[in-house]
Structure 1
Amino acid sequence: MYPSRSIFLREPMTNDHPQPDPSEASDDVPALMDSNAPDPAPASEAGPVADAPRPKKKESERRSSSEDMPSPGNTTAGFDTVLGKIVVESGLVTSDELEQCLEEAKAIENPEDLRTLSDFLLEHDYVTRHQLERLQKEFDAKKSSQRIPGYRILKKLGSGAMATVFLAKQLSLDRLVAIKVLPKKFSTDANFINRFYKEGRSAAQLNHANIVQAYDVGQAGDHHYFVMEYVEGETIYDRTKAEKRLHEADAIDVVMQVARALQHAHERGLIHRDIKPKNIMITGRNNVKLADLGLARAVDDEVAAKAEAGRAYGTPYYISPEQIRGEVDIGPQADIYGLGATCYHMVTGRVPFSGKNPSQVMHKHLKSELTPPDHLNPSLTAGFSQVIEMMMAKKREERYQTASDLLEDLELVRKNETPHYARPKVDLSKLTVKLGQAQPGEGQAREGTGGNSPLTAISITVNVVLAIIVIVLLLISFNS
């Protein structure tokens, strides 16, 4: 079993999901638009629909349901205070109906009765729970927009343990942006704050069509925020999940665009360190954007490298062997490995290595032989399969050394030509005839003659011929 070490997981693993990616249930906030985040439950699940008759509940039943599902008024500070004004202005409730509910709320004498105005509005069927949820979301967005000067929050795109992402409008330039906000619970944690600002500074160094652009980073009150380009689309994870497998041509196009983004970052001394399907956005026009530089690190940042030595930073399903080992000198080849693992997932519909826990998965990255992608998807060309296998070579010196080398091979494969760097693995043991390998009846013949069987001479001749053929083929391929 892989020895225990400090592991910084960008994406929690769960056991409830089979391949391709058990991380589906992760509450990790995807950069930008892993934003097909679950919406609030529809009215049919969250509560009765508007036209359905609502049976009266006993007080004990109301208390029970209140404990199971807190009322909207209790979930957002300040919402119930202004709820009366909001429902009247929106035309959902008349002034008389509101006054009736307010009087009933004031008449509560039992201190254990925790009903609020929203509960009384629901009991009288003046509003539906779906309407209250919509009003509350609008209230939250308006409240949030007051926290970050210069931006108006439009809606929440996604949320998780590490951050919440909002769609907003930048008022000065009248453009849509995405704003990542650090949760208040981390606002006093220097480590989280430093990492948050580091992501913004890393992204600001890059200006490329295939990288999500950084616009601003700052603090408003207790809230630290990072403003970035808004990408309307889906993640590669979402697309792969929907299509099961991507066609080779589509996968090559995606990988080439990400490789160009990495080439730009690597030339400026930055390593992403967390390439995975959920960090790659794709628009309706198939334009690809690399997102989430939360783990990015400068190649020459010796201080950070030594501080992180011995720790595995990344996502288990796509992490490189050198990251698993916590090596200090992480280079571009680590990103190429992550992109190779991502490509493998795209074209086979499964992650390269799976396991019950992160340690098991990472141990397989280190020790287990990779099943060739064209064995799982026979429609792949041999050249493309060889490229993926070279990207995922366990020894970094056997991988593509730069993104430009990878791009050269991908361009050749796209033209149905032989890749320049990636080569098929030649197993001579399968091509040769083993010396002295007995055939039926051979032993008896040898005993009768007292000498070597003619088959031995034939075997030697065949082996020599095959060796010459292999050498010639290798010379031809290298010269091409």
Structure 2
Amino acid sequence: MTTNDRPAVINDRYEMSRRIGRGGMADVFLGRDRLLDRQVAIKVLYPEFAVDPNFVERFRREAQAAANLSHPNIVNVYDWGRHAGTYFIAMEYVEGRTLADILRSFKRVTPKQAAEIATEVSAALAFAHEAGLVHRDIKPANILIGSNGQVKVADFGIARAMNSPTESNLTQAGAVMGTATYFSPEQAQGAQPDPRSDLYSLGIVMYEMVGGQPPFTGENPVSIAYKQVHDQPQPLNQLATDVPRAYEAIVAKLLAKDPQVRYTSAGALRDDLRRFRNGEQVLALAAAAGAARA
């Protein structure tokens, strides 16, 4: 038996060893796929959730949604199932660190590094959004940086299939999900998020990567959510004197309270980030200049 009396082997195929992470609904273990002789990460639903049919259904949908997303910047899902009352997902093991770990160690990264990370995250989101999925929980803990430098987005665990007829049965209308620090204003108000909500959350991550702290903090999720809706962030150049104006403009566009003012898609953001990295004029800066003249 492993930690918390979970089985050492699942379905005579997956050997579980040490725990490597914890999420809102599950533990994550390092494991080995005996059949294919490869390392995997195995997500195991917490026992208290395994008896709740609503959580089990959400867990099942996580596996199905993620398994349909085959992209170099998205963690691959290989298998899922039930064993001895335990629900599990076997997925790609990414050797490296989360962005959250990196920020804890170094506090911040350079604007160039931040733009490189955000470009790959936006590529993953563009692919998922085109497939009809919203991540809903973009944050540093769900962004993995492999030892080879490749960026992968993990945990589409609360992603919803947009326009799914069963969604209202699984998530109460107006329920606020995700992590308040990275909420979009519309999520903070209980509205159903859309792709532009993921872009706002990525804007929070981009702000934190360069500024060394997220734009909104508070004593509890409610106070943070209030600030997401009503407050403006401290100018990024007050936290990082070396931040380029173009980077600031991209982040400001992402953090617009009105979703209509944000980038129209993750693909549009990816393209603007590439312009920034190539030293070209970014559309966000041109738009900001035009608004200032108006």
Normalising by the residue count of structure 2, what TM-score does the alignment of the two structures yield? 0.93
Alignment of 1:76-475 (within 5 A): 140=2, 144-159=7-22, 162-305=25-168, 307-328=171-192, 330-422=193-285, 423-424=287-288, 470=293
CA distance in 1, matches of 2:267, 2:2: 46
Would the alpha carbon gap of residues 304 and 143 (structure 1) be closer, same or farther in structure 2, given more than 3 Å must change? closer
Shift, 1:285, TM fit: 2.0
CA distance in 2, matches of 1:420, 1:152: 49
Pair member with larger Rg: 1
CA distance in 2, matches of 1:426, 1:228: 46
Structure 2: gaps (5+ residues): none
CA distance in 1, matches of 2:6, 2:159: 32
For the Cα contact (< 8 Å) 1:308–1:326, is it kept in 2?
no
CA distance in 2, matches of 1:258, 1:186: 30
CA distance in 2, matches of 1:383, 1:340: 14
SS in 2 for 1:378: coil
SS in 1 for 2:2: helix
SS in 2 for 1:158: strand
For the Cα contact (< 8 Å) 2:2–2:17, is it kept in 1?
no
For the Cα contact (< 8 Å) 2:246–2:284, is it kept in 1?
no
SS in 1 for 2:181: coil
* 1:214-270 superposed Cα distances (whole Å, 9 cap, x missing partner): 001100111111110001111101111111111011100000000000010001010
* 1:421-472 superposed Cα distances (whole Å, 9 cap, x missing partner): 44336787xxxxxxxxxxxxxxxxxxxxxxxxxxxxxxxxxxxxxxxxx47x
* 1:68-106 superposed Cα distances (whole Å, 9 cap, x missing partner): xxxxxxxxxxxxxxxxxxxxxxxxxxxxxxxxxxxxxxx
Residue 281 of structure 2 aligns with an amino acid whose one-letter code is: T
Shift, 1:160, TM fit: 6.0
Which residue is equivalent to 1:433? none
CA distance in 1, matches of 2:255, 2:115: 16
CA distance in 2, matches of 1:416, 1:207: 31
Residue 325 of structure 1 aligns with an amino acid whose one-letter code is: Q
Shift, 1:304, TM fit: 1.6
Shift, 1:305, TM fit: 4.9
Question: Cα RMSD over matched residues?
Answer: 2.0
Residue 400 of structure 1 aligns with an amino acid whose one-letter code is: Y
* 1:103-146 superposed Cα distances (whole Å, 9 cap, x missing partner): xxxxxxxxxxxxxxxxxxxxxxxxxxxxxxxxxxxx63797233
Query: Identity percentage over the alignment?
Result: 37
SS in 2 for 1:369: coil
Residue 264 of structure 2 aligns with an amino acid whose one-letter code is: Q
CA distance in 1, matches of 2:10, 2:280: 56
SS in 2 for 1:234: strand
CA distance in 2, matches of 1:194, 1:349: 37
Stretch moving more, 367-376 or 260-269: 367-376
SS in 2 for 1:197: helix
Would the alpha carbon gap of residues 302 and 333 (structure 1) be closer, same or farther in structure 2, given more than 3 Å must change? farther
CA distance in 1, matches of 2:24, 2:187: 23
Shift, 1:327, TM fit: 1.9
Residue 177 of structure 1 aligns with an amino acid whose one-letter code is: V
Normalising by the residue count of structure 1, what TM-score does the alignment of the two structures yield? 0.58
For the Cα contact (< 8 Å) 1:269–1:298, is it kept in 2?
yes
CA distance in 1, matches of 2:132, 2:24: 29
Alignment of 1:53-92 (within 5 A): none
For the Cα contact (< 8 Å) 1:345–1:352, is it kept in 2?
yes
Shift, 1:283, TM fit: 1.2
SS in 2 for 1:311: coil
Would you say how many aligned residue pairs link Structure 1 and Structure 2? 291
CA distance in 2, matches of 1:211, 1:187: 26
* 1:281-325 superposed Cα distances (whole Å, 9 cap, x missing partner): 001221101001111012212542585322211110001011112
For the Cα contact (< 8 Å) 1:199–1:296, is it kept in 2?
yes
Greater strand proportion? 2
For the Cα contact (< 8 Å) 1:405–1:421, is it kept in 2?
no
Structure 1: gaps (5+ residues): 1-138, 429-469, 472-480
Residue 198 of structure 2 aligns with an amino acid whose one-letter code is: D
* 1:198-224 superposed Cα distances (whole Å, 9 cap, x missing partner): 111110110000000000110011111
